[in-house]
Structure 1
Amino acid sequence: MKIMPAAALTMALFTSLFASAAYADERIADPFDRADASFSRYPLNLPSTPQAVGRLTNGGDCDDDGIACEWEDDAGVHHIFAGDILAIKTVDTAALGNRNIAALGIGTARTRGEVLAKVRGFLPEITIDCLEPGNAGEGEGIASCGGSFENGGWIKLLFGADNKLTSARIDAFQMN
């Protein structure tokens, strides 16, 4: 039996604990559930109380009939409800700047190639296709990439004219 020095043992324990925490979401077998959990701890497709998520960000504009109310959690993820069912989660990269984005394993990647590599690595079961500006229907110079899950949900990534990520989104179902 080999006995490790205290410093090596401490480092090995720290590394194994850190690695376990960093990849916990990647061990969720169902790709939709894995993607959902990467955005926030509030599960899609289940009843919830919007006020439990955090603060209402568009209270002066929303009415939940024409303009959905958005509730932001502490990590900057916006949550949109259909009644009391959580339907959509979004991340706006402009608001987060260079901070790590847990959603879809994006991390600090921002360019289209880097983001797509991260997301495809996080969700290898999902085919991610892209529509170029002019075909994406998202506005002038905006490219859209996304993929669908077996349960009918989908993800969407938007990239600006500079090919940098502007937002990431997961939808559980079509709200309108």
Structure 2
Amino acid sequence: MKFAPAASIAAALLLALSCGAAHAKDQIADPFDRADASFSRYPLNLPSTPQAIGRLTNGDVCDDDNGFSCEWQDDAGVVHIFSGDILAIKAVDVGAATPSLSALGIGTARTRNDVLTKVRAFLPEIKIDCLEPGQAGEGEGVASCGGSFENGGWIKLLFDANNRLKSARIDAFQMN
């Protein structure tokens, strides 16, 4: 019986671990679908039953007819916004009680540089650009970074004045 040298074993282990990570990311080839699935299991651009997602967060009764979008939050804290019966937007606010985000592969990263590194690795096909506070139009001291998909959807990340992640969202289309 012949044993492999320690370096060969370490290389094989590293290859197995890295291929597993790459394989998990590559399971969904389309970047929009990959990003969508990273937020929640409810697919954007398709009819869905909001009540199946979770609880209504903006009032006791949902009344989209008056121009106010109803927001439904799942158990993971992701808010789902509909246009009629079509799921249009998914968003998650990041707070101290949010230890890890599956959205966009962010994980535990919270600083702007770390978050952008994670998102760019998760979506290498998408160009991510940023607007600094004052340009972003998101409020005092808030920077915005995002990118667009070929299907017309986009992602947006908001960062506070300390360059810490405030929120992440994905939009399937422009709601009016």
- Structure 1's 113 and 83: CA in aligned 2 closer, same or farther, altered over 3 A? same
> How many residue pairs get matched?
167
Question: Structure 2: which amino acid aligns with 1:140?
Answer: E
Question: Which structure 2 segments of 5+ residues have no match?
Answer: 4-11
Q: Which residue of 1 aligns with 2:36?
A: 36
1:140-174, Cα deviation, whole Å (9 max, x unpaired): 00000000000000000000001000000000000
- 1:91 alignment partner AA: V
Aligned ranges 1:69-108 → 2 under 5 Å: 69-94=70-95, 96-97=97-98, 99-108=99-108
- Specify the code of the residue in structure 1 equivalent to 2:157: L
Q: Distance in 2 between matches of 1:30 and 1:40?
A: 16
For residues 23 and 160 of structure 1, the distance between their equivalents in structure 2, rounded to whole angstroms, comes to: 33
Deviations 1:115-160 (A, max 9, x none): 0000000000000000000000000000000000000000000000
Structure 1: give runs of 5+ residues left out of the alignment: 4-11
Q: Distance in 2 between matches of 1:168 and 1:31?
A: 16
Q: Which residue of 2 aligns with 1:54?
A: 54
1:67 deviates by 2.0
Do the aligned residues in 2 keep the contact of 1:61 with 1:67 (CA within 8 Å)?
no
Structure 1 length-normalised TM: 0.85
Superposition TM-score, scaled by structure 2 size: 0.85
1:164 aligns with 2:164: yes
Structure 2 distance, partners of 1:2, 1:153, is 55
Q: Which position in structure 1 is the counterpart of 2:129?
A: 129
Aligned to 2:45: 45
Change (3 A) 1:144 1:33: same
Of all paired residues, the percent bearing the same amino acid is 77
Query: What CA deviation, in whole Å up to 9, does each residue of 1:1-43 have, x standing for no partner?
Result: 879xxxxxxxx9xxx79x8589635421000000000000000
* Change in 2 beyond 3 A, CA 1:92/1:80: same
Structure 1 residues 150 and 58: alpha-carbon distance in aligned structure 2, compared to 1, 3 A threshold: same
Q: Is the 8 A contact 2:25 2:122 kept in 1?
A: no
How do residues 4-43 of structure 1 correspond to structure 2 at under 5 angstroms? 20=20, 24-43=24-43
2:145 match: secondary structure = strand
* More divergent stretch after superposition (69-78 vs 163-172): 69-78
Partner of 1:8: none
Given the superposition, is the C-alpha separation of residues 135 and 53 from structure 1 closer, same or farther in structure 2, using an over 3 Å criterion?
A: same
- Give SS of 1:117's match: helix
Task: Report the counterpart of residue 144 of structure 1 in structure 2.
Answer: 144
| 2:174 paired residue number | 174
Instruction: Specify whether residues 95 and 83 from structure 1 end up closer, same or farther in structure 2 by C-alpha distance, changes over 3 A only.
Output: farther
1:100 shift after superposition: 1.0
1:169 to 1:25, Cα distance in 2 relative to 1, 3 A: same
Kindly state the Cα deviation for residue 108 of structure 1 after the two structures are TM-superposed: 0.2
Q: 1:21 to 1:126 in 2, by over 3 A?
A: closer
